[in-house]
Structure 1
Amino acid sequence: MFRGRAALRFFGVDSFVNDAGTRPRKWILTRISRADKGYSPVVSPFLCLIRYSALVANENLAGRPLPIRALRKGLTRAFQSTQKHALRMHRVLDRQRGKQISAGFCALAIMTKAPRAGTVKTRLQPPLTPSEAAELNTCFLRDIAAVISAAGERSQGVGVFTPVRSEKEYEGILPSHFDLIPQRGNGFGERLTNAADDLLHVGFESCCLINSDSPTATVEAFGEAVAQLQDADDRIVLGPSDDGGYYLIGMRKLNRHLFEEIDWSTERVFAQTDERAREVGLKVHVLPKFYDVDDGATLRRLCEELLRRNSRGDIAPVTTKFLAELIAREGWERLCPQ
């Protein structure tokens, strides 16, 4: 048997809080609460130990008997919980901290809104219910993230998310090796401008802003964008969409003019952006064309592309599985009415 601070020192956790063994219960519970709310990047082994060993029932740890077996069990569970939690967490980049990225990387950054029922894919409601639309949006994010992850060793996946403080909602959706950075601004053009500015400011050599509506975009297209931006400051990369917009815009330097006087959400977006680039002397490299899925007609097109017999099994596999199960359960006409 050890007592209080001596036991904590024996297991190597006394140094964490200097005089933790003499702290009252209220002080300990306050730190546990702060860690759970995200003020600490990983809940400390000491705090986990307190939680799991039921020592919080004591009014004060000083001088209390602490069985070795209970301490070992508590520490084991604490470290396992801490490691699992750490594996799920994304690093959230902070513009105020300056450069946080190693030199030479291109950000492949998904512009994303937290997939909450009733707030995403609203133009697909109906035929989808709000919860189905949110799940479809989640499937799109997973498929696009998988393609980004395969785009090459000089690229890094990033989720540019909104609303602020919704980063925990991406655990289990975006891979844990993705970084996150919050969106800033009001209008769509302002958010794109700020996203590019922030990504370059934290240390990315180049960045590509990617929409979350094009789940069939390929790894070849993203890899081509990264390659085109390796050493050319005088160009941008555009990935055109069938509806006249673009699913990707890439650059090495921010030029705000690219996002000015654009009729957003119209068929003129790609042409106007191409025009803005040429007005300031930038070359434009155009990627293969894909399509956005944001209404009933494009949802039907997606279903036909992914579920027909001769479809490629490697295109949007998560989305394919979701749509196949939904159609099997609800019927084709409910999902894709004539």
Structure 2
Amino acid sequence: MAGLLQYFWAEARQHKETIVIFSRYPVPGKAKTRLIPLLGDAGAALAQRFMTEHILDVVHRFQCQRQSVRVEIQYYGGTDSQMRYWMDRRVEKNMSWKPQRGDTLGDKIKNAFEYHFAQGEERVLIVGSDIPGISVEILEEALDMLRSEAGQMVLGKALDGGYYLVGLQRKTRGRLGRDAL
């Protein structure tokens, strides 16, 4: 038993970088609501499912190159058993899922960073699941920027004025102020 615990402890310490995917469980009528007029309830939920599975495929290819990067899916909606049914078939090594914590998107992002930095992670990327243009190269570039001495934060700006990716280095913890996120 002690050998097994040492293995898991060593395995946990290797993960200094995490990609957190923010997603929504694809419940008809609750997912991708802006697409419902065009696709209907079921079609919009199916679009959410396909977009999430697309990013999981991209992140899996990324993990094949960078096995030390952990991936966590933080979801909204659905139950743990629904997520288990959906993700058990899809989740690869070093991938897990859990519900998002917080009321607003800012709270959820802040809580995700705080949780992973408290776990000892050095770099964390948070990316939305509805980014069809995400690629292995974008993820690699974002982590490379965070690995650099000057790279304390990285933002992926979306065409609509929002952000599809936010990344921080652990050393930014405490410097951003209470309401920065």
- Normalised-by-shorter TM-score class: 0.7 to 0.9
Counterpart of 2:100 in structure 1 is 183
Counterpart of 1:110 in structure 2 is 21
1:216 matched to 2:133? The reply is yes
Quote how far apart the aligned CAs of 1:210 are: 0.3
Counterpart of 2:36 in structure 1 is 125
Which of 56, 64, 68 matches 1:145? 56
- Residue identity matched to 1:146: D
Q: Relative to 1, partners in 2 of residues 1:255 and 1:137: Cα closer, same or farther, differing over 3 Å?
A: farther
Kept in 2: contact 1:120–1:134 (CA 8 A): yes
1:168 matched to 2:109? The reply is no
How far apart, in 2, do the equivalents of 1:149 and 1:107 lie? 13
Which secondary structure state, in structure 1, belongs to the residue aligned with residue 109 of structure 2?
Answer: helix
How far apart, in 2, do the equivalents of 1:125 and 1:213 lie? 15
Quote how far apart the aligned CAs of 1:184 are: 1.0
Stretch of structure 1 that moved more, 157-166 or 237-246 = 157-166
Quote how far apart the aligned CAs of 1:100 are: 7.9
Q: Relative to 1, partners in 2 of residues 1:232 and 1:103: Cα closer, same or farther, differing over 3 Å?
A: farther
Segments of 5+ residues of structure 1 without an aligned counterpart are: 1-98, 263-338
Stretch of structure 1 that moved more, 250-259 or 108-117 = 250-259
Quote how far apart the aligned CAs of 1:209 are: 0.5
How far apart, in 2, do the equivalents of 1:125 and 1:113 lie? 15
Which secondary structure state, in structure 2, belongs to the residue aligned with residue 119 of structure 1?
Answer: coil
Q: Relative to 1, partners in 2 of residues 1:187 and 1:130: Cα closer, same or farther, differing over 3 Å?
A: same
How far apart, in 2, do the equivalents of 1:160 and 1:118 lie? 20
Quote how far apart the aligned CAs of 1:176 are: 3.4
How far apart, in 1, do the equivalents of 2:72 and 2:31 lie? 19
Q: How big is each residue's C-alpha offset from its partner over 1:84-119, in whole Å with a ceiling of 9 and x where there is no partner?
A: xxxxxxxxxxxxxxx983235311111112111111
TM-score, with length taken from structure 1: 0.44
- Residue identity matched to 1:145: L
Which secondary structure state, in structure 2, belongs to the residue aligned with residue 156 of structure 1?
Answer: strand
Indicate the structure with greater strand content: 2
Counterpart of 1:11 in structure 2 is none
- Higher CA-based Rg: 1
Quote how far apart the aligned CAs of 1:255 are: 4.9
Identity rate, percent:
25
How far apart, in 2, do the equivalents of 1:136 and 1:258 lie? 37
Counterpart of 2:119 in structure 1 is 202
TM-score, with length taken from structure 2: 0.78
For residues 298-317 of structure 1, what are the structure 2 equivalents within 5 Å? none
Which secondary structure state, in structure 2, belongs to the residue aligned with residue 229 of structure 1?
Answer: helix
